[in-house]
Chains A and B, each alone.
Chain A
Amino acid sequence: MTATRTLISPATLARPRGRAIYWTVFTAVVVLFALAFLFPVYWMVTGAMKSPDEVARTPPTLVPQHWHTGAYTDAWDLMQLPQHLWNTVVQAAGAWALQLVFCTAAAYALSKLRPAFGKVILGGILATLMVPAQALVVPKYLTVADLPLLHTSLLNDPLAIWLPAVANAFNLYLLKRFFDQLPRDVLEAAEIDGAGKLRTLWSVVLPMSRPVLGVVSIFALVAVWQDFLWPLMVFSDTDKQPISVALVQLSQNIQLTVLLAAMVIAGIPMVALFLVFQRHIIAGISAGSTKG
């Protein structure tokens, strides 16, 4: 990595005074970050390992006197965490799969197949970016509760998460923009080789689109896992609720240490996903945002 010139010149930094200031600031930022971002997480994880008396003690203990794991097992059993985690996984996985299939197909059609009124449709899709999703939850809820024409209700059904997730203008646009940049002659070559549109999409376009598919996948999974208001509305049946809704519903009448343990468990999958894919996620955010 070459050092690019920033606010402070390398010459200033090289001087003894500059170096002293640099290391002071550096240490300060490390301490600040540790206190602001890591300590709350540490406090949650260890809080769940304290005894109920110890958590409520003032002044609090920095390190648990005795390490209990009982709260974690209690949370797992009492709060039916496996059930809720499984619900969340099903909801997230389905939303991800359907988004990949339908958004990719639609983006491919809009980008390469020139459907009639394609521009109008794309405009309509992009317009939904301007309409903040949360402001429409109530009419969306009424639609899901009584689907037009079919007159069936999707409430308490994972489909209520899956299908609306497909209507994700951001991901669709991301895919479409990527497909637009694919060289036309490659696709034409595939067609001349006798590949149909579906075959071209499957064995030429998709293999070339791995980076964007990765980004879309992460966005899709994270969105479902983090969502709260929509699943809160849609799943009134406790057994169907994802972990985020269940946590809030159960937080009222459960012991603090058990709740903390449940919170830790609920956070682990996304944090793990982040730590594994941090390079891609951070690069994706940085790159995607500056291009607009």
Chain B
Amino acid sequence: MTKTAERQRTATAVPPVPAPAPAGDRFRRRLIDQVRAYGFLLGGLLCFVLFSWYPAIRAVVIAFQKYTPGSPPQWVGTANFTRVWHDPDFTAAWRNTLYFTLLALLIGFAVPFVLALVLNELRHAKAFFRVVVYLPVMIPPVVSALLWKWFYDPGAGLANEALRFVHLPTSNWSNGTDTALVSLVIVATWANMGGTVLVYLAALQSIPGELYEAAELDGANLLQRIRHVTVPQTRFVIMMLMLLQIIATMQVFTEPFVITGGGPESATVTVLYLIYKYAFLYNDFGGACALSVMLLLLLGAFSAGYLRLTRSEGDTA
């Protein structure tokens, strides 16, 4: 603070008297300014051009090509799309991805919200809860995936041990065709919930206490207060997180790759996993890019919805 004050004082003490520059000089000055500005901008800009914009355009181009690294690409029209479309894994991958997203919304959405609601009421050990709930987020996803793969082990896995402990029938978890996807959703929720809980907590804390007081004076009970005060007050954050979560879970890869390898019987093949398979197992980059374009369009639509939401709410808030 004192430093800036000092600077300002010296600035006013020696008033700069810029001489009116001739037109040619001004143009040169501006040119120099631009060159300097682009000097600062260049490194970052180049990386965006190379690794963001160019690949995005290339995805669309290669989607219509037969592309083998090292040899000139050939245009094949929509052949990549039709080939991918007729792959039996295609339907499975989209169904699994959408189902995964839906389940992740149901579980990975309701659980953190309820948890945040309860945590917000607790007046002790606040820091402890926040640290503990965020701990799994900081564990590398690969480690969480491997850890849960071990828990789901049909032999000495902890998941079945827990079920046996409370005398429930054991499950096949990630090894059963009908339970595999849910098992993966549990892992993803466990690993990512911390961030969601923290954001909800922040939103809950911004609710003015008078609203609850007024509601209570009007005779609203606990559930009514949640319904008519908490939910409307946090609706924007809820919607925002929901969209972000859809976008994130539609790109799920690590859990199916590490835990199930897409199995059993393609029960956990996701779209991104299929893209990976096309590129690195089948060496079919055209097919991989065709799939990428489809995923891109769908997620782009969600992102656009997200942006519109934040914009409109930002204006009214």
Contact = CB atoms under 8 A, between A and B. Distances in A.
Contact of A190 (B7, B38, B69, B143): B7
Contact of A9 (B205, B213, B230, B278): B213
Contacts of A248: 142, 146, 257-258
Nearest to A131: B56
A93 interface: no
B136 A115 contact: no
B165 to A, nearest CB: 8
B150 A256 contact: yes
A40 B151 contact: yes
B131 A282 contact: yes
A241 to B, nearest CB: 11
Contacts of B272: 134-135, 229
A271 interface: yes
Interface string A128-157: 111110111111111111111000000000
Interface in A231-273: 233, 243-245, 247-248, 251, 256, 259-260, 263, 266-267, 270-271, 273
Contacts, number: 320
Interface string A51-79: 00001111110000000000000000000
Interface of A is mostly: helix
A5 interface: yes
Contacts of B37: 109, 113-116, 118
B151 A132 contact: no
Contact of A129 (B11, B118, B303): B303
A15 B169 CA distance: 42
B275 A115 contact: no
Given A138-B279, A167-B47, A185-B8, A286 B225 contact: no
Interface string B126-165: 0101111111101111110011001100011010010011
A20 interface: no
A44 B295 CA distance: 36
A140 B58 CA distance: 9
A251 to B, nearest CB: 6
A226 B254 CA distance: 11
Interface in B271-317: 272, 275-276, 278-280, 285, 288-289, 292, 295-296, 299-300, 303-304, 306-307, 310, 314
Interface residues of B, number: 114
A47 B161 CA distance: 14
A243 to B, nearest CB: 8
B275 A106 contact: no
Nearest to B288: A138
Contacts of A192: 11, 14, 16
Interface stretch (B19-27, B79-87, B175-183, B196-204): B196-204
A289 B116 CA distance: 15
B59 A138 contact: yes
Contact of B143 (A55, A108, A266, A292): A266
B123 interface: yes
A273 B213 CA distance: 41
Contacts of A132: 247, 250-251, 295-296, 299, 303
B146 A247 contact: yes
24 contacts: A4-B209, A5-B209, A7-B212, A7-B222, A33-B129, A33-B132, A37-B136, A37-B190, A103-B44, A116-B37, A131-B299, A138-B278, A138-B289, A138-B292, A139-B54, A142-B69, A167-B50, A197-B40, A244-B140, A251-B146, A278-B127, A282-B130, A285-B199, A287-B202
Interface of A: 3-9, 22, 25-26, 29-30, 33-34, 36-38, 40-41, 43-44, 47, 55-60, 101-103, 105-110, 113-116, 118, 121, 124-125, 128-132, 134-148, 163-164, 166-167, 169, 172, 185-186, 188-190, 192-193, 197, 201, 222, 225-226, 228-229, 233, 243-245, 247-248, 251, 256, 259-260, 263, 266-267, 270-271, 273-275, 278, 281-282, 285-287, 289-290, 292
3 shortest A-B CB distances, which residue pairs?
A5-B209, A106-B44, A109-B40
